[in-house]
Amino acid sequence: MSLMVEKLAYLKKLRRLTTEQAAQLTGVPVGTLNKIFSGQTRRPAAEHLAKLARLFRVSMCYLLDDEIPPERCYAAQSEEGLFSLSAEEARLLTLCRCLDEGARRSLEALAGLLSVPPPPLAGTVPVRRAFCCTAPGREDRPPRPILLPQGAPGAAEADFAVALADRSMEPVWPPGTVLLCRRRQCGREEYGLYRLDRALLVRRLVRRKSGTKLVSPNLRCRDIPVGEENSLECLGTVLGPVRGFRWG
């Protein structure tokens, strides 16, 4: 299998397109595309590749250059010339472009701090640096740097942490508990950190015919309805509490 065929297969999966859908969007016959995608056509017509490049929003250089790996399918321009980006890097760049100038400076400072090797805990315990936000909280409350013991359960898988500021998660976790979180969508029975409009909340998302709501294990806390007018995003899944951490 040629590298171009691998790239086209990767792009089809990334865009969640079938060959039939690609044919409809490009105007290239299904049979022709099947031969290109399977590698039967070793030298596809330039016009067909150009249409596929436009469909998948990639450059012709990406498709033809065997030095560019399949996952680095985006191109960006810098003072030093063109360079390639992965889908994840492109997503982060898009998020960064949505931030205001102050938030970008904060993000640059956080990235710089993450690049500095953290000191060991208690002189010998190896750690990794992450960031901890507060829930319930608001977007304008900046996260705090936190040092996580590498041997702590879940520390290696965690992408960030969240400190509970109220009793909404009792009796599961009391206020002040620091929870490790991973940047992925929650399962049906999992708790996660959600951004509802401008509020940050640790809850479980429940979808039913009667409506969608964020649910707390504390029976004294009312369920929070989520309507079509609300902006809801799952920022990560709760892995569990962490102990032995240090701020910094």
Structure confidence by residue, pLDDT tens digits, 66-102: 888 888 887 766 666 667 777 777 777 777 878 788 7
Neighbours of 51 (CB within 10 A): 17
CATH superfamily, domain at 118-247: Umud Fragment, subunit A (2.10.109.10)
Residue 134: helix, strand or coil by DSSP?
A: strand
Could you tell me which of 45, 74, 77, 47 has the C-alpha nearest to residue 62? 74
Query: Could you say which DSSP state residue 222 is in?
Result: P
What average pLDDT score do residues 227-240 get? 93
Element (H, E) at 24: helix 19-26
Separation CA 44–CA 32 (nearest Å)? 9
Q: Considering the chain, tell me which residue range(s) the CATH 2.10.109.10 domain(s) occupy.
A: 118-247
Q: What pLDDT is attached to residue 247?
A: 87
Distances (CA, A) of 62 to 76, 167, 226: 12, 52, 42
Could you tell me which of 62, 126, 64, 139 has the C-alpha nearest to residue 100? 139
Burial bucket for residue 22 (CB in 10 Å: 0-12, 13-18, 19+): buried
Element (H, E) at 196: strand 192-196
User: Given a cut of 60, is residue 1 above it in pLDDT?
Assistant: no
For a pLDDT cut of 70, what percent of the chain falls above it?
Answer: 93
Separation CA 195–CA 138 (nearest Å)? 9
Q: Considering the chain, tell me which residue range(s) the CATH 1.10.260.40 domain(s) occupy.
A: 3-95
Residue 20: helix, strand or coil by DSSP?
A: helix
Where is average pLDDT lowest: 69-73, 179-183, 199-203? 69-73
What average pLDDT score do residues 20-36 get? 93
What average pLDDT score do residues 53-74 get? 86
Q: What pLDDT is attached to residue 77?
A: 65
Q: What pLDDT is attached to residue 139?
A: 60
User: Given a cut of 80, is residue 203 above it in pLDDT?
Assistant: yes
What average pLDDT score do residues 168-173 get? 95
Between 211 and 124, where is the model more confident?
Answer: 211
Burial bucket for residue 95 (CB in 10 Å: 0-12, 13-18, 19+): exposed
Instruction: Write down the mean pLDDT value for the chain.
Output: 87
Cα dihedral 6→7→11→13 (10° resolution):
20
Fold for domain 3-95?
Answer: 434 Repressor (Amino-terminal Domain) (1.10.260)
Q: Which two tokens stand for residue 138?
A: 């608001």
Structure confidence by residue, pLDDT tens digits, 105-152: 777 777 777 777 776 665 677 888 889 999 998 666 778 889 888 888
User: Given a cut of 90, is residue 182 above it in pLDDT?
Assistant: yes
What average pLDDT score do residues 21-28 get? 93
What average pLDDT score do residues 183-188 get? 90
Separation CA 117–CA 113 (nearest Å)? 9
